[in-house]
Structure 1
Amino acid sequence: MGKYLSDDSVGIIGIHGTGGIGKSTLLKHINNDFHRLITGRMFDLVIWVAVPHPVSIPKIQSQIAQRLGLSFSRSTGSDVPVNRQAKLLFRELSKKRFLLLLDDLRERLDLAMVGIPLEDPAENGKIVFTTRSSTVCTDMGADGTVTMKPLDRTQAWELFCSKMDPEDKVLENPSVRRLAEKVVDDCGGLPLLLIMVGRAMAGRSDPDEWKDVVRAMDASEEVPDRVAPLFALKLSYENLETDIMRSALIFCAMYPVGWELSRAELVEFWMGEGLLDGGDGIHESRKRGQALIDGLLYARLLEAGMTDSEHKVMVHDAVRDMALWVAEREDPEHGILVVSEEQLLTGVTMTERREQVIRRIWMRDLDLGVWSSSPIPNCPNNWTLLLNHTSVGSRLLSGFFRLMGSLRVLDLSDTELEEIPDEIGLLAELRYLNLSWTYVTSLPMALGGLVKLRQLVLAHTHLLRSIPREAIAGLSCLQVLNMWDCGYYWHDIDSSDASVAAAPGEGDRQLELCDLERLCQLEELHIGLGSSHAMGSITGFGMLCRCMRRLGLFRNREGLPPAVYGQGGAISRGGFDGSLMELPPVSEDGGRAWVGLLHVSLDELPQLEWLFLGECAGETTRVVAPPECSNVLRKFVVLRSDVLKVLKFVGRFPNVQQIYLENCRGMEELVLDGDDEHDDDGGAGRVRWWDSHFPKLRRIDLRFLPALKSIGRRPLFLPSLETLFVNGCPLLSRLPLHMNRAPKLREIVGEEVWWDALAWGGSNAGEVHNFFMRVFEPS
């Protein structure tokens, strides 16, 4: 493979082999090694594409565009937008030497129609794809092919044994060892199966159990159209500890091949279905959900995501095939209907029995606007309906709701929906409802009849203006209410104010904060308020303060008090009971900026995870972490602050992963080590360089800070730093980096003019420059 990548005469490379042989693993190794490929000047950009099935050129284009930093609107499938997008991709890719990785190609793909330049591999780049068929390599005109072969018997045995527990000494029993050798032979040298079966059989000392496995694997060879022994995969599935884990895996099988699944989103859906119930609150349920995902990862039934291994997971295509097979034939309680293309709707037919056992339906990324009635049969026992990113009208939804009285999870986010039909009140079992990024202007009173609803997501519903009190007040089981960046205007808190009796044109009393106070099961609240008076008075609602996670002030026309949080702030220090997780920009649309010092002490905000400051940032802004403070701050962002000149971090920030500063035109100094003897840190204490102020900091973004001159006063120890992005900072002449103090640094992205002008101090300046030159990437 290395020879092909370095050979300028080779433009297209095919990797072929049977399912489970390790093709995708090899492609992942190439992708994960892209920093070496880039810094070695082999390529400017590496692009990973999970090929959808059936092949969809618009979806492939969308993945490439995302990697290029471009934004494509959802395609209607016509040739015109495809051609237009192809031209745009061709123009952008022609400027770079790229490596395009296509995973799981099952038929010839017209690269020209996608927009891939192929004129000169030496100038443009290369394409590497994986496939199960050597014919696809021929059809794609591959200049070079790599054939993945099964492991030989010795290699297969060693891999299998490595997944067994050596302390159990199971394989020392001659009877078990003979049977284990037969199991290894039946795995056909496929690494995926060897690993999964090895882990599933670890600790099994009873020879009869091994005999059952041998018989079942021999029988599975008779199942047609299986590229790998079905039982080897099914064994891992059946070996999962609980039915909940098995149900969760089948849920993941709804997603298309190559799809990266958000861990957080999966957990929210599973909570909605009731898989994670424990009677101990949302936080503990989420912990169980994350542990469940970790268990599926360990069993190799899930894989870490390609673009974000920390927050996303994937399902191997062979595992997905097995899970869908189980759901269809052997586990009637977990039926799935997956519709990935509009044209497939015309062929959806099911027996009456099949209709009764469908539990989950995936119909994402479709255009259903042309359908006047439900395109799917009656599924009265369905639990989950995922329609996000799908064009769907109110009339069609009415039909869905009449047919799915058992629905528990309904995702309508990004659907361009303008109206929620009253029939939503028929969903008596609904527990999770997501309406974020829709165009709804009001909520129906029928919503208030959903007495089992636990999570209601209205984030980014910018047109939402009317919420009758009855739509929310009756949700007695509601645990999460997310109205972040919502268009609904929370008026002054005084409920006697006649102005809040009804929104313009509405005859019903509108929702007030005092109504939320009566939601006795509420654990998490995300809202923005409409006036600084409301912001300053909200501490009168004790229950809301205890469950507040994000709080902001939007559309403020009055100007802000001198401070919202900090020394002498308008919000009392103890008012939020340590529950606030995010302090966002609080001065949008004309609010008055702070002047002088803004002081944020994290000892009063132990649950704060994201700290956002906009125009509210003071001329000097200090973020202080006293030594006794157990803070969980993960992300710090400052946007559009012309007042800010000095930003100073004082103390130790053990969990911060990203610092992002953008469009702060007056900012001159960023102090990441503000704990020296000149700082009045209020007892923050000194932090020794080898302890690190920011042990988990992975990324620093400095964008359009034209006055910035300094980052830190000495070289910093940043043991986890991977990326430093600098753009529009012409006066920044030094970096606080040392060869031995940023061991994981993988890239410094910036303008070449800025890089060439950097000064590297010390007697070994040239050596330091050359050391960091290897990770520099021109922006």
Structure 2
Amino acid sequence: MDYLGPVVQVILFLWAPVSRQIGYLKHLNDNITKLTNETKELKCNRDDIQANVEAATTVGKTRIRQVDNWLLEVSDIETEVDSIRLEFEQMRTCLNGCCTDHLSRYKLGKRVAKMNKDVQNLKGKGGFDRVAVSPLRPKVLEMQTSLPRGQQNTSEKTLEDIWQCLHDEENSMMCVCGMGGIGKTTLMKAVNNRLIGTHEFDVVIWVTVSKDLNLGSIQEKIGNILGMEFRSNEEKRDRLFARLKNVRYLLILDDLWEAFNLDQVGIPKPDKQNRCKVVITTRSIAVCNAMGADMQIKVKTLTREEAWNLFYERCGDVVLSPDIRPVAEKVVEECGGLPLAIKTVGRAMHRKDKKELWENALRALKGSSPEVPGMEREVFLPLKLSYDYLGEDSIKLCFLYCSLFPVNYDIEIDELVTCWVMEEGFIENVNNLEEASNKAHGILERIKDACLLEEGSRGNEYVRMHDLVHDLAVWITSLSSSSSASNSRVLALSAEGLLQPPEEKMWGGFGRISLMHNKIKHLQITPNCPNLISLFLNDNYQLHTIHSSFFELMPKLQILDLSNTCIESLPMSLSLLVNLHALILRYCRDLVEVPPLGQLKELQLLDLSFSGIKKFPQGIASLGKLKRLDLSYFNAFAAVPPNVISRLSNLEDLRMLVLGHMSEAILGEVVSLRRLTSLSISVSGLNGFIAHDMLHWSWSDLRRFKIQVGGNFIFKGCDKQMNICGCDSFPHGIEELIKHAKFLRFEKCKVLTRLSQLVGDSKSLRWLQIKDFNGLKCIIDWREVGDDGLQCLEELDLHTLPKLEKLFDGSVPRPHTSLRQLRKIKVEECPKLRCLFSSNMVEHLNQLEELSVIGCDRMEEIIEGVLPDNALLKLHVLQLRRLPKLSSICSQQPSLASLEKIRINMCPKLKKLPLLWSGIQEIQGKIEGEREWWEGLQWEDDNTKSIYAGIYSERRRPI
């Protein structure tokens, strides 16, 4: 019986496959039912996935290939299942007819069993985490933009500037700044599109930031561009950093209002090594600085021709009509070259062919009115964002104050700051005029940084408002017309060509009125102005009479400016202005007298400079709150009574520069003013300083001073300066006064042989001018110079010193900081000078940039001895004129590596030029001189001559 075990095992082994085959026949009906149910579930999964795919494709995504393959497999299985079910139904029909085909039933059962497994496997594959992805983004995404024809000259030049900066390896972060609507974004879109098809960056990322800074939003935008999805906020920074750290990217942050740290977002810092770049567009220069921009490019307004071309493009041929064109040109002028305004107005006036409509638009623009369709929404409101971002109300008030001045007017900064300081509520939390002025200058920079003020056409001592910004300020002030705070309302009619003042009924509702720069001759009215704070009547050059009761109904007036008018007298009602803070009568040359001022107890500023007043006003000594008194070039200065200045104990700023000379007795009163921080005075000599012990006065406490001793008035733009003219002696102790000056000028003095006796210990002196100093033989004797004396000197100007034999005497002690900041030396008409510097002295002139030697008849050599290595590395300009005996610059041919321009005139014996840098052949027109001199030069070889010839330009006559 032992043989039965293997037999059973064989039978069992064979039974499993036989049983499976039998099951295909036996369980066919059940398997068909199961297949039907499984297929229904598969179809439901398919429908859900297709719905997700459709939702993703509507937002620009593309379904992944796995989903495509799965859907194809589902489709194939559906077809196969339908075929099986059809065959099963046919078989069931045949069985009802008693036709049994067991072989066909067996084959079908086997197919159904396999299909059940396939359906179950396919259902398992359908559990996708995501069904679609964002399409692959090109390196540079094209942006819709164009530079209109009217902008090609200005904007394409700026575009080229941006392009060049972008390709300068020294610039990793750059800033494109300018007022709203000037075209910053348009320019950067053009830069973006120019990069299409290039391989300069692996990716260009454009992020529009706008006013409300949201770092999370910036991260999301960058992530979307890079095709990244974040599961949580915490991972954004690290994942962005990991993605970008090995990528050369260009990040454009458009319309940035607030600085932030790139590291906070996850942006690797751009530098020379990774060659990445960040470009910011902003209205705020402060944002540029805070972001650490390497380069700032300011976008300019369009020229008149460019503005007209752009306007014509938007408006059409209607503007060429002879009736309309003159008005249209004025309309364009009112847009101030701002592309946004030009486009907005152009669109509004498109095909308008009635002259009346154009004149109405011009009226609205001149009146800063938003009547022109689109102006308020598309121009004023975007510009107002810059105003809103100024922050504190006091800064906004200071900005709006500028609308009192005429359009396109250079506003003197000192004048503007004075007005701000004198108005209550503008400059708060300060202790004195100095602090108030400093704070006002800080506010001014904030407004300039917001591109709401720009540098004036007359230099950095002035600012001006762009036309549209001026209109914005007027528009903002007009919004308060229904406000109860009537002292915030402004009536600005400056430079309107007015011959008469506004009617009395117009004055009452305003807090500030500006009628400056008009042609008003008479003020024969008595306006009721209960809330008037500031009144500007200045620069009405024909104004000569004011009604006796004109000031009677102005109880709150704080600032009154009548400067540059022809008034001959002021009415007694002026004395009623008991709240007046500032009375400005500058350049009132026809003004003979003023009423008593003793009642103006709140007066802080009184400016009588350049006025024609012949009798010193009564009551000034009673003005206990007076902080600034300007009597410069005051016609009645000689009539200043004694013990008046000394009683003004709160004076901080006293200005008494006069034609002729001030009584030295007043110096004694000046000494008593303990709060003084700014002083301008003229004296005939230095004896007054000795008599009143002013040489040891607290000069270090003065923030500014201008002191004229004898002679004429020549002042430089710095805060501490002194002119000494015609002095035959310098009293002991004068050095104590002189050492505080930053600008020092001597003229027509005879006593000293060495100037270092006076200035050797000065640590503040920056500019030194000496002219007609007959006895001077040497400027600096190093034995008379302190260890840190003359350490700040930047410019040395010597003129007409007939006995000067040398600039510097002795050896410079080591270590020594003297003259280390000297940038410019000019020596003219010093006939005894034979040589300018010793080789030892040159070593200490490592900051020298300009050297001019003119009219020194005995000058033979500029540098005596051998020029040290690496000397004069910063010398850019060398000018030698009228030096008949000059034979060499140095005993050896010097190498001046940084020299950019050489001017030679009337130096017939100079036969060799200094050796210049190796790339000089790439520079054109940098050596100037007469042709005869040039042709007589001696050269090392023909190659050197040909190189220098490429940068020579003939100067036909002496400069």
Is the partner of 2:459 in helix, strand or coil? coil
2:470 is the alignment partner of 1:328: no
Distance 2:615 2:728 in 1: 36
Matched-pair contact (CA < 8 Å) for 1:339–1:345: no
TM-score, normalising length: structure 2: 0.49
For the 8 Å contact 1:261–1:312, the answer to whether it is kept is yes
Pick one of 574, 580, 589 that aligns with 2:696.
Answer: 574
- Asked whether the 8 Å contact 1:536–1:571 carries over to 2, the reply is no
User: Equivalent residue of 2:708, what SS?
Assistant: coil
Structure number, greater radius of gyration: 2
Paired residues of 1:552 and 1:584 also in contact (CA < 8 A): yes
Separation of aligned partners in 2, 1:532 and 1:571 = 19
Q: Percent identity?
A: 20
Corresponding residue number in structure 2 for 1:303:
454
Deviation string 1:514-569 (CA, Å, 9 cap, x unpaired) is 22222221122233589999537834764237627435445x5xxx46x666xx88
CA displacement, residues 265-300 of structure 1 (integer Å, 9 cap, x when unaligned)? 322221122322434111111111111122222322
- Aligned partners of 1:279 and 1:661: how far apart in 2? 43
> CA deviation digits over 1:238-283, x for unaligned, max 9?
1212111111111223444544433333222211223224341111
DSSP 3-state at the match of 2:619: helix
How far residue 476 of structure 1 moved from its aligned partner, in angstroms, is 1.2
Shift of 1:148: 12
Q: Secondary structure at the match of 1:448?
A: coil
2:632 is matched with: 484
Contact 2:578 2:601 in 1 (8 A): yes
User: Structure 1's 767 and 549: CA in aligned 2 closer, same or farther, altered over 3 A?
Assistant: closer
Residues 719-748 of structure 1: CA deviation (Å, up to 9, x unaligned): 887777777766677778999777887767
Contact 2:159-2:187 at 8 Å conserved across structures: no
One-letter code aligned to 1:511: P
Residue identity matched to 2:708: P
Aligned equivalent of 1:61? none
**1:473 aligned residue:** 621
Equivalence map 1:38-49=2 (5 Å) = none
- Distance across 2 between alignment mates of 1:176 and 1:430: 61
Q: Distance in 2 between matches of 1:194 and 1:769?
A: 36
Partner of 2:433: 282
Question: Do the aligned residues in 2 keep the contact of 1:257 with 1:315 (CA within 8 Å)?
Answer: yes
3-state SS of the aligned residue for 1:318?
helix
Do the aligned partners of 2:417 and 2:437 also contact (CA within 8 Å) in 1?
A: yes
| Structure 1 residues 343-422: aligned runs within 5 Å | 343-345=497-499, 355-364=508-517, 366-368=518-520, 371-373=521-523, 381-396=531-546, 401-402=551-552, 404-415=554-565, 417-422=567-572
Q: Which structure carries more helix by proportion?
A: 2
- 1:243-642 equivalences under 5 Å are 243-274=393-424, 275-305=426-456, 308-309=459-460, 311-330=461-480, 333-341=487-495, 343-345=497-499, 355-364=508-517, 366-368=518-520, 371-373=521-523, 381-396=531-546, 401-402=551-552, 404-415=554-565, 417-439=567-589, 443-461=593-611, 463-468=612-617, 470-490=618-638, 511-512=641-642, 514-527=643-656, 535=664, 538-539=667-668, 542-544=671-673, 547=676, 549-550=678-679, 552-554=681-683, 556=684, 560=685, 571-576=693-698, 578-580=700-702, 581-582=704-705, 584-588=707-711, 593-595=726-728, 604=737, 608-615=741-748, 618-620=751-753, 621-622=755-756, 631=764, 633=765, 635-638=767-770
Equivalent in the alignment of 2:721: none
Secondary structure of 1:578's aligned partner: helix
Contact 2:208 2:255 in 1 (8 A): no
Instruction: Indicate the structure whose relative CO is greater, using CA pairs within 8 Å and at least 6 residues apart.
Output: 1
- Partners in 2 of 1:642 and 1:248 — Cα distance? 52
1:484 CA drift (Å): 3.2
2:189 is aligned to: 152
User: How much has 1:349 moved relative to structure 2?
Assistant: 5.6
Could you give the per-residue CA deviations for residues 478-498 of structure 1, whole angstroms, max 9, x where no partner exists? 0112223434445xxxxxxxx
For residues 165 and 194 of structure 1, the distance between their equivalents in structure 2, rounded to whole angstroms, comes to 13
CA distance in 1, matches of 2:539, 2:927: 38
The superposition leaves residues 118-158 of structure 1 with CA deviations (integer Å, 9 ceiling, x where unpaired) of xxxxxxxxxxxxx99xxxxxxxxxxxxx9996542885997
1:195 alignment partner, one of 283, 289, 311:
283
Instruction: Kindly indicate whether the alpha-carbon contact (under 8 Å) linking 2:489 and 2:512 is maintained by their aligned counterparts in 1.
Output: yes
**Aligned amino acid, residue 616 of structure 2:** I
Offset, 1:666: 3.9
Structure 1 window deviating more from structure 2 (295-304 vs 608-617): it is 608-617
List runs of 5+ in structure 1 lacking aligned partners.
1-13, 31-103, 105-130, 133-145, 186-190, 204-216, 491-502, 504-509, 679-684
Within-5 A mapping of 1:35-184? 150-152=187-189, 155=192, 171-173=218-220
Between the aligned partners of 2:627 and 2:510, the Cα distance in structure 1 is 29
Secondary structure of residue in 2 paired with 1:459: coil
Q: TM-score, normalised by structure 1?
A: 0.58
1:187-216, Cα deviation, whole Å (9 max, x unpaired): xxxx9985359969x99xxxxxxxxxxxxx
Match of 2:383 among 221, 225, 233: 233
Distance 1:550 1:756, change over 3 A: farther
Q: Which amino acid is the alignment partner of residue 466 of structure 1?
A: K
Change in 2 beyond 3 A, CA 1:164/1:473: same
What displacement does 1:638 show?
A: 4.9
Q: Contact 1:539 / 1:545 at 8 angstroms: preserved in 2?
A: no
Q: For the Cα contact (< 8 Å) 1:585–1:614, is it kept in 2? A: no
- Alpha-carbon distance, 1:398 to partner: 5.7
Confirm or deny: 8 A CA contact 2:770 2:797 kept in the other structure.
yes
* Partner deviation per Cα, 1:4-62 (whole Å, 9 max, x = no partner): xxxxxxxxxx99449xx9769959999xxxxxxxxxxxxxxxxxxxxxxxxxxxxxxxx
**Residue aligned with 1:449, SS:** coil
The SS at the match of 1:292 is helix
Distance 2:566 2:884 in 1: 45
Question: Structure 1's 303 and 626: CA in aligned 2 closer, same or farther, altered over 3 A?
Answer: same
Contact kept in structure 1, 2:745 and 2:770, CA below 8 Å = yes
Task: Say whether the 8 Å CA contact 2:774–2:801 is kept in structure 1.
Answer: yes
Q: Aligned pair in 2 of structure 1 residues 472, 652: CA closer, same or farther (>3 Å)?
A: same
Contact 1:452–1:475, Cα closer than 8 Å, also in 2 = yes
Is structure 2 residue 893 aligned with structure 1 residue 761? no
Give the counterpart letter for 2:497 in structure 1. Answer: Q
In structure 2, do the counterparts of structure 1 residues 183 and 765 end up closer, same or farther at CA, with 3 Å as the change threshold?
Answer: closer
Residues 738 and 759 of structure 2 are in contact (CA less than 8 Å); yes or no, is this contact kept in structure 1? no
Given that 2:512 and 2:532 are in contact with CA atoms closer than 8 Å, whether structure 1 keeps it comes out as: yes
TM-align CA RMSD: 5.8
Match of 2:616, SS state, is coil
After TM superposition, give the deviation of residue 606 of structure 1 in Å.
6.9
CA contact (8 A) 2:634 2:658 kept: no
Structure 1 pair 435–235 and aligned structure 2 pair: CA distance change class (3 A): same
Q: Classify 1:640/1:166 alpha carbon distance in 2 versus 1 (closer, same or farther; 3 Å).
A: farther
User: For residue 152 of structure 1, what is the amino acid of its counterpart?
Assistant: K
The Cα offsets for residues 612-631 of structure 1, whole Å up to 9 and x where unpaired, read as 4444574343375677x763
